[in-house]
Amino acid sequence: MGKFRIGYVGFVPHPNFLETCAKDPALEVVHIPLEFSTGEAVQALSSCHGYYVMAARDEVPVPLHVHAELLGKLPNLLMAASYGAGYDTCSPEDCTEAGVLLINQAGGNAQGVAEHAVGMMLACLKRMPEAHAAMIAGTARNRATLLGRELRGRVVGLIGCGNVGARVTEIVKLAFGCRVIVCDPFLDAATIARSGAEKVAMAELLAQADVVSVHCPLTAATRGMINAAAFAAMKPGAVFVTTARGSIHDEVALLEALNSGQVASAGLDVWEVEPPPVDHPLLHHRAVIASQHTAGVTQESRANITKIAALAFSDVAAGRMPPRIVNPEVKARFGERYEAAFGVGLRQ
């Protein structure tokens, strides 16, 4: 059996990926510079069995996103792995159609993202962005005009409760005694209860939550889900936080909700365009704390996600099905293609 070739474009999130791959003699890693033309990059990828692909859609050129057009040019590709939990640059449906296994690194950066989300909740409730803006503008006078609120005892509403949401639940319950309510169509009430939260409908969550925090993937169903109607349905003076994906919330609608006071403050780690343009009104709003999709960008999280990605490639190279499969319906077809490529069958 020959080596399992893995291509990546530009950079890897942490040296741990290359170091872990180097320990497996069955793997060969191919670096494709960002400076390559699309044609050159596709040519380099065409000999690869695996594609380690950036998860943030604005970091890798669109022609190198894992969609039908690219997949049609990569007949040897068996597996794509995103850099993180998200997979905006990959189409699960197109991968399945092509017989390509798609995996992510769900849970690998959960601690980093959860800490970031809770940090933004605290900053917004204590009105830190407004205080910062006032001091910069030279208008800071009476501290009572920045009267804040404490997180302790608040109702925290989570839209999505996977690995990150479960960790956020644990933090705010244990440290702050919060009641946590969750809207997640993929989890039943018993599963959510085991994490210490309560399953509710979206309408109930928006009406009751003092803090609304988004932790779901960007899909056709969630794109634009937090729109003007959703902001209007929130408890007046709610705090809105998102460390999930841009495009789930409507940025224009959020700006209007902030300006009207319907939403008191917002913590935004994700944007429609990343990074947002320097003149973006939300970036300059006094009640917004912003970051550049860095919730999971910690040394610990990146070391972890890159290691588990490398180990997933090692699993496949050794004939084992890896964990964290996004499109499990492709398994049978993927197994057939794997056997045709390497002459041995996969073990489940």
Q: Which residues are catalytic?
A: 245, 274, 293
CA 188, distance to chain mean position in Å, is: 22
Do 119 and 98 contact (CB within 8 A), yes or no? no
Do 24 and 314 contact (CB within 8 A), yes or no? yes
Q: Which of 100, 75, 120 is nearest to 325 (CA)?
A: 100
Structure tokens at 164: 């990150």
Q: Which of 20, 102, 29, 27 is nearest to 311 (CA)?
A: 20
- C-alpha span between 266 and 211 (Å, rounded): 10
Is the backbone of residue 10 left (phi > 0), alpha (psi -120 to 50) or beta? left
Q: Which of 119, 105, 117 is nearest to 301 (CA)?
A: 105
- C-alpha span between 290 and 267 (Å, rounded): 6
- C-alpha span between 160 and 84 (Å, rounded): 17
Helix (H) or strand (E) holding 31: strand 27-32
Distances (CA, A) of 319 to 4, 26, 70, 304: 11, 11, 25, 23
Could you give the count of Cα atoms lying within 13 Å of 210 in the half-sphere of its Cβ?
16
Count CB-CB contacts under 10 A for residue 330.
Answer: 21
Do 102 and 316 contact (CB within 8 A), yes or no? no
Could you give the count of Cα atoms lying within 13 Å of 42 in the half-sphere of its Cβ?
17
Q: What's the maximum distance between 2 C-alpha atoms anywhere in the chain? A: 75
